[in-house]
């Protein structure tokens, strides 16, 4: 029995004259995702990518599992391939599904005729295949409204495909379709999930993390790198730039007004991230900020932060509440790591009474009490870069 994985995509089909570029990009991402999983054949036709595993059922299952993490893929199906001859479709449906159908009492057949030249309509295909299955499975009954199992028949280019399950995947756009951006990655809940959301739009990610040793421990850094590897399941291998931030935080604490400590710190973070982003051909910064979530995320405070850089800042959670963000964190399996009790640099030297309605000019005055350019240069020069691969 020849099994084929049908990989469907959605938004890409709307890309007009650029469609082929996006299809090729998605194919390349799929090949990268399943590299090392054995031999296979891959081809494209219509709005479907066909993958034929050549090393057995276990390989097919591994490929199916990995495809669930590839942006741009809308659904996947493990199907049985046969000719488009109706008699063979009927016979193969019985042959392929005999063991499966024994487990159920009700069923229906749905058909899709992608080949519009095929002589039978979709309802006719369903009628003839369903009737044949009933003849050979007398324990079954047809239930078109609420069947226990649905048998799908797809008549496509050269072949027909029979299957019983379509697995929903992530959708979105293939990684690399919309450039590259720099994620400000803390050890919290918001930033890893924000990286996932932007990667879903086809943006390749790098990350910058601000490390304040010894006020934050090596375990805190390890936690962040683990979060990066979780995000990399979806975004692909990711450079993580680890910035030494202790000296900057100490100078801010010693020389700036207490109410501006967090805001000046955020401005330094944005400026350093922008410098590293430009050095690595990133076109935007990504943060997990949400309006009003903390004192540094009021509209006035965000305006102070934005003023520090010229680069586009992407904030996918700006209008979400914490519960919505937590749901996304749980969805991508980052939540349990994010809540491990290791402090990051944002939680040290926290002011007791932060300014919630700051004036840009006042915060700039506070930041200019420091040798800003020297501190930024030293931080960038001291940055350590590691490449995190997907944790599967």
Mean pLDDT, range 228-241, rounded to an integer:
96
Binned at pLDDT 50, 70 and 90, residue 345 comes out as low
Residue 178: its pLDDT value, please?
95
From the list 219, 165, 227, the residue with the least C-alpha distance to 191 is: 227
Residue 316: its pLDDT value, please?
97
pLDDT at 343 over 80: no
| pLDDT, mean over the chain | 94
- Least confident span in 28-32, 167-171, 216-220: 216-220
**Cβ atoms within 10 Å of 89's Cβ, excluding its own:** 24
Residue 296: its pLDDT value, please?
80
Mean pLDDT, range 238-244, rounded to an integer:
97
Long-range contacts of 26-32 (CB under 8 A, 24+ apart): 26/70, 26/72, 26/73, 26/174, 29/70, 29/71, 29/72, 29/174, 29/175, 29/176, 29/236, 30/67, 30/70, 30/73, 32/236
Tokens of 338: 């994010």
pLDDT at 159 over 80: yes
Share above pLDDT 90 across residues of the chain, in percent, rounded to a whole number: 85
Residue 166: its pLDDT value, please?
93
- Cβ pair 285, 270 in contact under 8 A: yes
- Cβ pair 351, 293 in contact under 8 A: no
Q: How many CA atoms lie less than 13 Å away from 208 in the CB half-sphere? A: 29
Binned at pLDDT 50, 70 and 90, residue 355 comes out as confident
- Cβ pair 147, 106 in contact under 8 A: yes
pLDDT at 344 over 80: no
Q: What is the distance between the alpha carbons of residues 358 and 318, in angstroms, rounded to a whole number?
A: 19
Give the pLDDT confidence of 94-134 residue by residue, as tens digits.
999 989 999 999 999 999 999 989 999 999 999 999 999 99
- Least confident span in 5-19, 75-89, 189-203, 278-292: 5-19
**Cβ atoms within 10 Å of 88's Cβ, excluding its own:** 13
Residue 295: its pLDDT value, please?
76
Residue 35: its pLDDT value, please?
93
- Least confident span in 233-247, 257-271, 280-294, 340-354: 340-354
Mean pLDDT, range 306-328, rounded to an integer:
96
Residue 349: its pLDDT value, please?
64
Tokens of 293: 């979530």
- Cβ pair 37, 85 in contact under 8 A: no
Q: What is the distance between the alpha carbons of residues 94 and 100, in angstroms, rounded to a whole number?
A: 10
Binned at pLDDT 50, 70 and 90, residue 54 comes out as very high
Q: How many residues does the chain have?
A: 392
Residue 346: its pLDDT value, please?
57
Phi and psi angles of residue 342, each rounded to the nearest 5 degrees, phi first: -115, 120
Q: Taking the CA atoms of the chain, what radius of gyration do you get in angstroms?
A: 27
Q: What is the distance between the alpha carbons of residues 338 and 347, in angstroms, rounded to a whole number?
A: 14
- Cβ pair 182, 207 in contact under 8 A: yes
Residue 214: its pLDDT value, please?
86
Residue 390: its pLDDT value, please?
85
pLDDT at 255 over 60: yes
């Amino acid at each position: 029995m020849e099994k084929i994985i049908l990989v469907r995509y959605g938004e890409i089909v709307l890309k007009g004259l650029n469609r082929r570029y996006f299809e090729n990009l998605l194919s390349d991402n799929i090949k990268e995702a399943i590299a090392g999983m054995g031999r296979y054949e891959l081809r494209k036709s219509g709005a479907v990518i066909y993958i034929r595993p050549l090393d057995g059922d276990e390989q097919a299952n591994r490929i199916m599992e990995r495809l669930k993490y590839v942006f741009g893929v809308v659904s996947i199906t493990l199907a049985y391939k046969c000719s488009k001859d109706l008699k063979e479709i009927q016979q193969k449906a019985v042959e392929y599904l005999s063991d499966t159908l024994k487990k159920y009492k009700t069923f229906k057949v749905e058909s899709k005729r992608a080949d519009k030249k095929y002589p039978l309509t979709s309802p006719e295909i369903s009628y003839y295949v369903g009737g044949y299955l009933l003849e050979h499975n007398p324990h079954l009954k047809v239930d078109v409204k609420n069947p226990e199992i649905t048998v799908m028949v797809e008549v496509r280019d050269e072949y027909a495909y029979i299957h019983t399950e379509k697995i929903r995947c992530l959708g979105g756009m293939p990684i690399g379709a919309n450039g590259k951006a720099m994620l400000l990655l803390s050890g919290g809940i918001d930033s890893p999930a924000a990286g996932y959301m932007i990667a879903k739009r086809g943006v390749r990610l790098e990350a910058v993390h601000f490390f304040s040793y010894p006020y934050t421990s090596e375990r805190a850094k390890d936690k962040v790198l683990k979060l990066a590897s979780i995000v990399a399941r979806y975004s692909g291998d990711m450079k993580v730039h680890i910035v030494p931030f202790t000296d900057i935080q100490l100078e801010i604490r010693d020389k700036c007004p207490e109410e501006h400590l967090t805001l000046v710190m955020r401005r330094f973070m944005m400026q350093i991230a922008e410098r590293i982003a430009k050095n690595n051909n990133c076109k935007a910064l990504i943060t997990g900020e949400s309006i009003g979530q903390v004192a540094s995320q009021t509209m006035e405070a965000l305006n102070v932060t934005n003023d520090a850089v010229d680069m586009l800042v992407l904030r996918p959670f700006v209008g979400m509440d914490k519960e919505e963000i937590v749901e996304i964190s749980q969805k991508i399996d980052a939540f349990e790591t994010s809540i491990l009790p290791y402090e990051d640099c944002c939680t040290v030297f926290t002011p007791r009474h932060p300014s919630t309605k700051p004036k840009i000019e006042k915060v700039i005055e506070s930041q200019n009490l420091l040798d800003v350019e020297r501190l930024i240069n030293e931080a960038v020069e001291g940055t350590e870069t590691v490449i995190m691969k997907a944790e599967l």
